[in-house]
Amino acid sequence: MQIFVNRAKEIGIDALAITDAKPFNKEKAVLEQVLQAGLYPQFVETDLALRTDPKRLLPSVQSIISVAIAYKSVDPHISQGKGLLSRYAWGHDYHSLLYPRLETLAQWMVKEFGVKEYVVAVDTKPPIERAIALRSGLGWLGQNCAIFVPPYGSWVFLGELLVDIPLPFTTQQPLKPNCSEKCGRCVRACPTNALFAPYQINPHSCISYLTQMKGIIPREMRAKIGAKLWGCDTCQQVCPTNQKALPSQHQEFYPLDGTAIPLIPLLSISKKEFHQRFGHTALAWRGHGILQRNAAIILGNLRYTEAIPALGDALQDPKPFLRASVAWALGEMHTASARNLLHNAQHKETNAIVLEEIELALSH
């Protein structure tokens, strides 16, 4: 076992554990209930058999290696007119870092242990990675629904390697969680009540989802987003276990561009500028319009009146979902200049949804 841990460390993987390839039947039943209750997360594979039966991914699988790399770096810092990024998006996109490291581990196992077939999975492939991490003993499940991998807290990226040879399994027992019955800080701190009870989350009201969803963010959720431009770390940030988590040794995950981003320039950022600036981070996949929309919502939340001229320009943007968000933000400013801009736009606007937002903003 130690030989695998040592090799993983050599190639930049911080923690490793191994489990069997039996199907995750209990987890499948839970996922079916979650799906029926309408609480299944977006952006996740909905073929539950594919997610929970490793043989569907690799018929010859005999063992699953569960790994983690740590990404805790500096403390977040926010100042006037900036929007906060979730910690995982501060540095280089972890997919492009973890995937090749797992591939290197797999190639080493081909050479040294006779592995013939393997599958590398990092987030985008369907296996139920949290359940694999738990069954292998890599980590424990917190009340905030995050996996904690000692000594790195929940600031970890997970990945898996499925192989066709039997390996010594680390454990069949989950690690003991550090959550005391009385703690519950994560549940109390959730701004949207998405984490509505220990271990229970409504992904549709989670800020992490709201800042990544397409289209217009529901009105009742906009204020709750606060200054979060992309993602949300609150339920991890408040956790006492995470306060003691070891920082990452990987410089790639340290902030490339600060932990918060000036919002006004984002309103007019072009696709090209966006990809130059954010293309190598984990927030690039959704495109520039979503970040522009989020910037407008935050400027409204902050009542950042310096942004009014830039918001006025953004009212001409071709994307209706951005114009609608900008109209809302101008309505939150409560100034004569913001109202003038809304009045002018009202005469020219042809999209019914944007017009409704303008009218609502003017009715304040």
> Where does this chain bind ligand SF4 (CB under 6 A)?
142-144, 178-179, 183-186, 190-192, 194-195, 201, 206-208, 232, 234-235, 238-241
Closer to ligand SF4 by Cβ: residue 4 or 140:
140
Taking the CA atoms of residue 126, residue 141, residue 7 and residue 19 in that order, the dihedral angle to the nearest 10 degrees is -60
The kind and range of the H/E element at 345 are: helix 336-348
List CB contacts of 296: < 8 A, sequence separation 6 or more: 267, 311, 314, 322, 325, 326, 328, 329
CB of 187 to ligand SF4, least distance (A): 7
Sign of CA dihedral 311, 312, 317, 319: positive
Closer to ligand SF4 by Cβ: residue 85 or 327:
85
Nearest to 330 by CA among 307, 354, 349, 348: 307
The single residue of 20, 47, 75, 123 carrying the catalytic annotation is 123
Percentages helix, strand, coil for the chain, rounded to the nearest 5? 45, 10, 40
CB of 269 to ligand SF4, least distance (A): 25
What is d(CA 162, CA 87) in angstroms, rounded to the nearest whole number? 28
Instruction: Write out the DSSP string of 64-129.
Output: EEEEEEE---S-----TTEEEEPGGGSSS-HHHHHHHHHHHHHHHHHHHH----EEEESSSS-S-H
What is d(CA 206, CA 90) in angstroms, rounded to the nearest whole number? 20
Query: 123 an active-site residue?
Result: yes
Closer to ligand SF4 by Cβ: residue 106 or 245:
245
CB of 199 to ligand SF4, least distance (A): 9
* Residue pair 263/269 in contact by the 8 Å Cβ criterion: no
CB of 40 to ligand SF4, least distance (A): 15
**For tokens 């805790």, what's the residue?**
72
CB of 205 to ligand SF4, least distance (A): 7
Closer to ligand SF4 by Cβ: residue 128 or 201:
201
CB of 210 to ligand SF4, least distance (A): 8
Closer to ligand SF4 by Cβ: residue 115 or 195:
195
Kindly report the length of the chain. Answer: 364
Closer to ligand SF4 by Cβ: residue 65 or 297:
297
Which residues on neighbouring strands pair with residue 20, listed in sequence order? Answer: 63
Nearest to 83 by CA among 248, 257, 219: 257
Closer to ligand SF4 by Cβ: residue 68 or 269:
68
Say if strands 228-230 and 82-85 run parallel, antiparallel, or are unpaired. Answer: parallel
Instruction: Write out the DSSP string of 241-267.
Output: HHHTPPPPS-GGGS-SS-SEEESHHHH
CB of 24 to ligand SF4, least distance (A): 22
Question: Which residues participate in catalysis according to the annotation?
Answer: 123
